[in-house]
Amino acid sequence: MGCLKWIEYSTIYDELFQNYLHRENLRILEIGVLEGGSQSILRKYFHSSSSIFGVDINPNCLKLDTGTKIRIGDATEKKFLSKVTSEMGGIDVVIDDGSHKSLHQKKSFEVLFPLLSDGGLYIVEDLEHSYLLESKGLPFLPNTFWNKSKRTTELLNNEFRRYKKNFTFKIDPLELFSVKFYPQIIAFSKGKRFTPRIVGNDNYIPH
């Protein structure tokens, strides 16, 4: 039951998961099970009360003993993902380690990000494939997941945009709290943002 990850992933995940590591009843969904190695790691890494699900299109994954729950289906289909999310009772963390194809990543993201809990985290791995599999050395293809994610940062300032054409993902701008870029990884955090307004210094108290 192997698990192949880029060497820098451990450092990245230590940063991303620092607020989730000891949280009880965390609900985690991983897209892409393969041999089950990362599912077993997640089981050991997070609190024992966590609910960990994996989805994969390969029915052979059901034979794996990962200590987690595995469901078979297409991770780009809204009906399937909604059913799994409902079974989980909601989701707090999503890790997309599936096909690595931009179109699949986009479809999964646009279904699952709105279903994340407030304060939830959505991670997409192995985004070198936005270059290796799809761009074929071209400097910029707007529909790769990496480049589309860069445009999605504009949603963080959506209220100030003066153009209407949307090159970003189809999500509610006020639900996107941050987008973080790492080597081969992008992490989106969900959180209700206030409509931008300026407050006087006497009312401003840093958290």
Active site residues: 100
CB 107 within 8 A of CB 169: no
Tokens of 42: 């997640």
CB 177 within 8 A of CB 118: no
The edge-to-edge listing of strands for the beta sheet with 27-31 is 69-72, 51-56, 27-31, 91-96, 116-124, 185-190, 176-182
Helix (H) or strand (E) holding 78: helix 78-88
